[in-house]
């Protein structure tokens, strides 16, 4: 069976449209809105909405053009209905409804997090690209979803059967990357810049772990320390707000200045040398990833997990990938991660992939909703 989905995702600041045939991505258009949000130091929902409205028609046309097909060749239209910024999501939903009505196609609502989870199965259209045999996938799998808004461990009993076994109690890991990067004066979005500094400088600044009476810390050889949150608790949840506070205090201690919002927006952090920014980036990344390593190991002890799937914007990070790959290898289990960086951060190809996998696996069983979204409030187990 072959099924082709045109998918739209406008959950945050990417206006994305993709065409996906089974698990093969025929096109995945995602123009960045970075320029629009840069001067505010973060995503402004009303600005995101305007940019989505301006671009959505062109993005859809471009996705069809790159896939070399027309709306007539599409079997269904899929759209992200959450989680995300409500006023941004609305733009994609309106466009998807209009397309489905005009071309008389079924309209399928998709959960954004299920998109990140199944993004590991999307494949390219090149001659060397081999789709994954879905029948060979072993369950339960552990989904590790690390993005700008979520940090979740999902026990995947089967495609479509999800159980969140751990999640952040406050901020998300990607958000901590962005906020702490901003504290270092690295602009917007600062997360990938911190990651790049950490990657380049990791060999220069050795980080060690220390388990103390009631806490767990990571530290550099020069004595800079950051806490590893919830390391000692038996539960599988995360917390990143304490790391942000500790990071701010550490910068203020090193620099001898209060860290003001103005200084962060201007990227002018007094009293911080380039070397200290590098050292802090390396240390921060370890403090941000250590809880994920610890909780993934705990989940492996607790459940008979057969595969690890890493998705979400932070899965672009090569350090996190290699840490989880190592854990999977030590347990003799499969590790999956999106095959290209364009599938790590928000994109519509992952949304089309969700629909096609569910259709391929359960042809006839998937309920295709053609009217309204009011009745669809959640994907069982994934939250919303
Ligand atoms: O999944 P995503 O595109 O959006 C949400 O659904 O939240 O994730 C975006 C997040 C941002 O916080 C960004 O800083 C982070 O992913 N990110 C990274 C890297 N690339 C993107 N964090 C760490 N290392 C990276 N290489
Ligand atoms: Zn996302």
**pLDDT tens digits for 170-208?**
999 999 999 999 999 998 889 999 999 999 999 999 999
- Stretch among 142-156, 260-274, 349-363 having the lowest mean pLDDT: 260-274
Q: Tokens 């969140």 map to which residue? A: 164
Q: Kindly provide the residue ranges of all beta strands, DSSP E only, lying in the chain, ordered along the sequence.
A: 4-9, 16-21, 24-29, 76-82, 107-111, 141-146, 151-158, 161-167, 207-211, 216-220, 225-227, 307-311, 334-336
| Residue 382 CA, ligand 1 centroid: distance in Å | 19
Ligand nearest to the CA of 198: 1
pLDDT of 70 above 90: yes
User: Which is nearest to 220 in space by CA: 291, 276, 178?
Assistant: 276
Task: State the closest ligand 1 atom to the C-alpha of 191, by its place in the atom list counted from 1.
Answer: 14
181 lines ligand 1 (CB under 6 A): no
The pLDDT tens digits of the residues spanning 31-56 come to: 877 777 777 777 888 888 888 899 99
Task: State the closest ligand 1 atom to the C-alpha of 195, by its place in the atom list counted from 1.
Answer: 24
Angle 381-383-384 from CA coordinates, rounded to 5° = 145
345 lines ligand 1 (CB under 6 A): yes
- The crossing angle, in degrees rounded to 10, of helices 45-67 and 86-103 is 30
Residue minimizing CA distance to atom 24 of ligand 1: 317
| Residue 222 CA, ligand 2 centroid: distance in Å | 36
317 lines ligand 1 (CB under 6 A): yes
Angle 81-340-7 from CA coordinates, rounded to 5° = 25
334-336/307-311 β-pairing: parallel
Region 94-113: mean pLDDT is 95
For the entire predicted model, the pTM comes to 0.92
């Amino acid at each position: 069976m072959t099924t082709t989905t045109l998918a739209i995702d406008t959950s945050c600041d990417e206006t994305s449209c993709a065409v996906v045939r089974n698990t093969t991505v025929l096109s995945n258009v995602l123009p960045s809105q970075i320029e629009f949000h840069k001067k505010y130091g973060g995503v402004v929902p009303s600005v995101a909405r305007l940019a989505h409205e301006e671009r959505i028609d062109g993005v859809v046309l471009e996705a069809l053009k790159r896939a070399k097909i027309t709306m007539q060749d599409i079997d269904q239209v899929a759209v992200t209905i959450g989680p995300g910024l409500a006023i941004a999501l609305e733009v994609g939903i309106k466009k998807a409804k209009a397309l489905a009505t005009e071309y008389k196609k079924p309209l399928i609502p998709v959960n954004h997090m299920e998109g990140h989870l199944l993004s590991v199965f999307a494949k390219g259209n090149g001659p060397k690209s081999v789709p994954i045999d879905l029948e060979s996938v072993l369950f339960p799998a552990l989904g590790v979803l690390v993005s700008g808004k979520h940090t979740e461990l999902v026990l995947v009993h089967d495609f479509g059967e999800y159980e969140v076994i751990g999640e952040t109690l406050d901020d998300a890991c990607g958000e901590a990357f962005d906020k702490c990067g901003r504290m270092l004066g690295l602009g917007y979005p600062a997360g990938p810049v911190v990651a790049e500094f950490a990657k380049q400088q990791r060999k220069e600044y050795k980080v060690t772990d220390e388990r103390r009476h009631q806490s767990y810390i990571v530290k550099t050889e020069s004595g800079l320390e950051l806490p590893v949150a919830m390391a000692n608790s038996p539960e599988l949840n995360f917390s990143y707000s304490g790391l942000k506070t500790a990071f701010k205090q550490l910068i203020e201690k090193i620099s001898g200045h209060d860290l003001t919002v103005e200084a962060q927006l201007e990227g002018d952090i007094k009293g911080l040398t380039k070397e200290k920014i590098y050292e802090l980036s390396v240390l921060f990344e370890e403090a941000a990833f250590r809880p994920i390593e610890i909780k993934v190991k705990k989940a492996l002890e607790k459940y008979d997990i057969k595969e690890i799937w890493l998705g979400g914007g932070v899965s672009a990070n090569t350090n996190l990938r290699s840490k989880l790959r190592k854990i999977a290898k030590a347990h003799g289990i499969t590790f999956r991660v999106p095959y290209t960086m364009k599938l790590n951060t928000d994109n519509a190809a992952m949304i089309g992939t969700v629909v096609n996998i569910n259709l391929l696996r359960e042809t006839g069983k998937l309920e295709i909703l053609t009217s309204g979204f009011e009745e669809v409030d959640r994907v069982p187990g994934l939250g919303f």
